Amino acid sequence: MNKILGKTYFSERVVKLEVEAPLIAKARRPGNFVIVRVGERGERVPLTIAGADTRRGSITLVVQVVGASSRKLCALEVGDHVTDLVGPLGKPTRVERVGTVLACGGGVGIAPLLPIAGAFKEAGNRVVSVIAARTREFIILEEEIRACSDEVIVMTDDGSYGNKGVITTGMEAVIVRERVELAVTIGPAIMMKFAAALTRRHAIPTIASLNALMVDGTGMCGACRVTVGGKTRFTCVDGPEFDAHEVDFDEMLARLDGLRDEERNKDITSV
Amino acid sequence: MEITSDRNEAWRKALRVAFPAKDRLAIERVTMPEVPPAERVKSQRVEVNKGVTPAMAQREARRCMDCVTPACMEGCPVGVDIPGFVKEIERGEFTRAAAVLKRASALPAVCGRVCPQEKQCEERCFLVQKLKKEAVAIGYLERFAADHERETGDAPLPESLPANGIRVAVVGSGPSGLSCAGDLAKAGFDVTVFEALHEIGGVLKYGIPEFRLPNRVVDAEIDQLRRLGVRFVTNYIVGMTGTLDDLRADGFRCFYISSGAGLPRFMNIPGENSNGILSANEYLTRVNLMGAGSVEADTPVYRGRHVVVVGGGNTAMDSARTARRLGAERVMIVYRRGEEEMPARVEEVKHAREEGCEFITLTNPMAYLADERRRVKQVIVQRMTLGEADESGRRTPVAVEGSEYALDTDMVIVAVGVSPNPIIPRSVPGLAVSRRGTIEVDPESMQTSVPDLYAGGDIVRGGATVILAMGDGRRAAQHICRRFSGT
Ligand SMILES: Cc1cc2nc3c(=O)[nH]c(=O)nc-3n(C[C@H](O)[C@H](O)[C@H](O)COP(=O)(O)OP(=O)(O)OC[C@H]3O[C@@H](n4cnc5c(N)ncnc54)[C@H](O)[C@@H]3O)c2cc1C
Ligand code: FES
């Protein structure tokens, strides 16, 4: 049981939670994630760690309400507890000094991008961040991203804030203008697919942090498998970050959708 | 209670005299009462085997000849005093029978249900070897004695030595870790078990379904350990949440690694990542640990109408039978060798068949075809024949050219084995690991190349059995006791 220490609404459907987890706060590195479970019948849900405070012994998670489990989590108030929290999971980001890093985050993907962008900045890189969302209310953590970037480009699909257009428009503006050594992309799978296609054309090495479906998060089930460079890998233990140019995003998109029908039909038969 | 079970004790002699061999041999082997197939496939949780009654148990115990050199014991990986406990049952001393069992086995209620008795103790039984009769039902009797003790509440809390204040960490809460923790607690150690998942029990909880091993049987063992003072920390992945060095700094002076063989293998054939194809571990974890399939659970699971299960072990049988319980109309178990070669317990094969699972043996998947939404729709299989025996003595399957055909399916469960969980081997510097990824140990002491680290169970053996995992835990505990004796 881990206590909720803080709760901030970024918008009606996007919530930042500060959760007590002293050991994870100490052990985590940028790129790591946790698995959270709410309620005795709850599902195990992976969430990338958006930040940590070792002094307060807490980590921050940013959650967007998309289904039953995220709704349960977002309904928790300060003083409530999550039933289970385990981590840090996955391999941390390999942070090196490479020159200019294009840090790209879409929607709630902006939250886990934050510690990674921060780490690249700290390692002495020039960091240009492109953050994108459907509409203004989903652009989150802009101030924090600004604090660890040399430049920030904001994109919204509907033009309600920043520049109008998708994330790749913002990325391309940077790529044609200056030399980029590395791109990092976190967000919806479809966004990462297009971001990867763009950087491949420009031959820019790119990391994608994948949000596969998971159960245990420790390599035990294979629910999280993805094809990378023609080989099957487990996102939870081999990733979550992979070479974006090698990831089979079409397969990944299909797998993310695979259980959707089952969720809807769940109450039809039961044991 | 100090239990001795000497064959020459007066009561044992008297029992032997009271019933002549001829009368004993005339008794037929007991039949396990079972829930009928049509009824049991409606529930994931109703145990199929109902257990024998005291009268049935005593009658079955009478079939045992109390041999001078009991060969059955040589078949038991942990050397349970089999005639000793069977004869206690014969004379109606059920609690004593359980005590005899517990001298060698930490988890008799579990082992009585899941051990492959037909390949171990029962295979060596005098009745089988010399008289070509059916073996004494040692597994049923083991389960009977252990259940009786638990259900009557007669189990005395084992006596413990005074606390010695030495902290030991057990990594992983499967059968291996639980038995090591129990023995160490009894010896006075301050034991903490760290478990990565949110539940204690390892495969006993997330893998083996309740229709074969009810959770309450496992929970009773865990409660007993709690009463002995063992602490359990869930949601703690050693090597990730904290390192061994962190734990050393917290005062842990010794470790037992029993992290299991968690990593499911796939066959790496075309189309294997299509939707609706999952490992047995994923399927069983969703259903057994997460409750998927029940209305209240948040965790979803694929439902197939025509389910293919690949493999011939216990995991394959458990998956197939679970699929039947979740409503599959047709369940096909595809195995590359013959039924004779199946590693599953014979009882599981029998139960699976009774529940309507089909066996497609000497057949191996080659590729999967999916529909436009990438959901699996067909598996292309190939017929096999058995060739030469390999080094393990099993005959190697050889593909029959041109024998390919397709099976229609909407869900496939892959149960072709597991590899050791890599988290610990990866995170401990200097730990000797084999090519297969198992941790190397001294087989006598279970000590690894890192002096304060012991290991056992599936992380050392690869996918093995509950009884071997349990035996390793006890052996390691003995050596840990010896290591600290005099301090
Ligand atoms: C479906 C299925 C059916 C089976 N049926 C039978 C049967 O009928 N008879 C039989 O004898 N055997 C059977 N087996 C095999 C048997 O269950 C195993 O051999 C046995 O459970 C191994 O015990 P263990 O304690 O070594 O590991 P496990 O039971 O695998 O337990 C390991 C535990 O360690 C935890 N862990 C892993 N890494 C870490 C870490 N870094 N930190 C903390 N915790 C960690 C895991 O989460 C897990 O809970 C079956 C296995 C399966 C999967
Ligand atoms: S989530 Fe189970 S193996 Fe990755």
Residue among A26, A29, A5 at smallest CA distance from A17:
A5
CATH superfamily of A2-89: Translation factors (2.40.30.10)
Contacts of B17 (CB under 8 A, 6+ apart): none
For residue B242, the domain's CATH number is 3.50.50.60
Domain ranges in chain A are: 2-89, 100-258
Statement to judge: residues B344 and B469 lie in one domain:
no
> Bridge partners of A48?
A33
A:192-211 residues touching chain B, CB 8 A cutoff: none
Q: CATH assignment of A100-258?
A: 3.40.50.80
At residue B4, the pLDDT reads 59
pLDDT higher than threshold 50 for residue A269: no
Task: Tell me if B71 sits within 8 A of B125, measured CB to CB.
Answer: yes
Q: Does residue B76 sit within a domain?
A: yes
| Domain count of the fold of chain B | 3
Q: At B201, phi and psi to the nearest 5? A: 130, -15
CB contact under 8 A, B299 and A43: yes
How far apart CA B71 and CA B473 sit, in angstroms, is: 24
At residue A270, the pLDDT reads 32
Q: Does residue B135 sit within a domain?
A: yes
Statement to judge: residues B407 and B464 lie in one domain:
no
Q: Does residue B158 sit within a domain?
A: no
Give yes or no for residue A240 CB within 6 A of ligand 2: no
At residue B1, the pLDDT reads 47
Q: Does residue B350 sit within a domain?
A: yes
Which of the residues B235, B269, B377 would you substitute to probe the A interface, choosing the one with the greatest number of A C-beta atoms within 10 Å?
B235
Domain stop point among B88, B117, B152:
B152
**A145-164 tens-digit pLDDT:** 999 999 999 999 999 999 99
Rounded alpha-carbon distances, angstroms, from residue B295 to A36, A138, B327: 21, 33, 14
Which of B196, B264, B302 lies at the smallest CB-CB distance from A262?
B302
* Atom in ligand 2 nearest the alpha carbon of residue A234: 4
Statement to judge: residues B352 and B304 lie in one domain:
yes
Distance between the two ends of chain B, CA-based, in angstroms?
Answer: 28
pLDDT higher than threshold 60 for residue A83: yes
Statement to judge: residues B271 and B413 lie in one domain:
yes
Q: Does residue B296 sit within a domain?
A: yes
A81 shares contact with chain B (CB less than 8 Å): no
In tens digits, chain B (487 residues) has pLDDT values of 455 578 999 999 999 999 999 999 999 999 999 999 999 999 999 999 999 999 999 999 999 999 999 999 999 998 899 999 999 999 999 999 999 999 888 899 999 999 999 999 999 999 999 999 999 999 999 999 999 999 998 667 778 899 999 999 999 999 999 999 999 999 999 999 999 999 999 999 999 999 999 999 999 989 989 999 999 999 999 999 999 999 999 999 999 999 999 899 999 999 999 999 999 999 999 999 999 988 888 898 999 999 999 999 999 999 999 999 999 999 999 999 999 999 999 999 999 999 999 999 999 999 999 999 999 999 999 999 998 888 877 788 999 999 999 999 999 999 999 999 888 988 899 999 999 999 999 999 999 999 999 999 999 999 899 999 999 999 999 999 999 986 5
At residue A17, the pLDDT reads 95
**A36-64 tens-digit pLDDT:** 999 999 999 999 999 999 999 999 999 98
At residue B290, the pLDDT reads 94
Domain stop point among B121, B152, B183:
B152
ipTM: 0.93
CB contact under 8 A, A222 and B266: yes
Please give the share of chain A, as a percent, with pLDDT higher than 90.
Answer: 86
DSSP E strand boundaries for chain A: 2-11, 14-20, 33-37, 45-48, 51-53, 58-64, 81-82, 84-89, 100-106, 126-133, 151-156, 163-164, 182-186, 206-209, 225-228, 231-234, 241-243
How far apart CA B147 and CA B111 sit, in angstroms, is: 12
Q: Does residue B1 sit within a domain?
A: no
* Stretch among A66-80, A184-198, B347-361 having the lowest mean pLDDT: A66-80
Which ligand does the CA of B194 lie closest to? 1
Domain stop point among B370, B390, B418:
B418
Statement to judge: residues B334 and B435 lie in one domain:
no
Which of B235, B281, B301 lies at the smallest CB-CB distance from A220?
B281
For residue A123, name the pLDDT band (cuts at 50, 70, 90).
very high
* Atom in ligand 2 nearest the alpha carbon of residue A222: 3
DSSP E strand boundaries for B272-344: 277-279, 306-310, 330-334
Domain that holds residue B95: 9-152
Chain B residue with the nearest C-alpha to that of A72 = B298
Q: Does residue B339 sit within a domain?
A: yes
For residue A22, name the pLDDT band (cuts at 50, 70, 90).
very high
